[in-house]
């Protein structure tokens, strides 16, 4: 196998390893969107043991934590190691318009999916407008 060595990328890796000595939790990339009456969050956590994933809610703060253990193969000569190990963390502040009692999560193919339902009081609804002679509905 042939590998091209890029001196600048090597410098980036060295700098990252020096700066990484603090071992702060790594950032988790996410997609967040609204699908009907749910907010859906997809977090990329490839290679994570599902048992290491911890999701907790403290007030309005939703925290996602995970751990990837280092590949500790004995007797191998690493050519490159770009897959980070250690702790991963992402936090979100939830608004008042979500139903925190019905939040659910699943993990499949390296992607954590968190479904956050919109609360009943925050859903779109019709409000009746009355006038002297007629009654009609308008969107709220």
Domains and CATH numbers, the chain: 25-71+84-139 (2.60.40.790)
pLDDT tens by residue, 88-140? 999 999 988 899 999 999 999 999 999 999 987 767 778 888 887 665 555 65
- The pTM of the full predicted model, rounded to 2 decimals, is 0.69
pLDDT tens by residue, 54-92? 999 999 999 999 998 888 888 888 888 888 888 999 999
On whether the CB atoms of residues 122 and 37 are closer than 8 A, the answer is no
């Amino acid at each position: 196998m042939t590998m091209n060595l890029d001196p600048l990328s090597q410098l980036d890796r060295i700098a990252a390893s020096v700066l990484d000595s603090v071992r702060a939790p790594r950032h988790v990339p996410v997609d967040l969107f609204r699908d009907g009456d749910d907010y859906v969050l997809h977090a990329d956590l490839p290679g994570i043991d599902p048992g290491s994933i911890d999701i907790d809610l403290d007030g309005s703060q939703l925290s996602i934590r995970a751990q990837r253990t280092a590949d500790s193969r004995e007797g191998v000569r690493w050519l490159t190691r770009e897959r980070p190990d250690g702790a991963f963390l992402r936090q979100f502040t939830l608004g008042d318009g979500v139903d925190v009692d019905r939040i659910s999560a699943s993990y499949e193919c390296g992607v954590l999916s968190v479904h956050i339902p919109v609360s009943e009081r925050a859903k779109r609804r019709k409000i009746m407008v009355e006038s002297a002679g007629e009654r009609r509905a308008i969107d709220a």
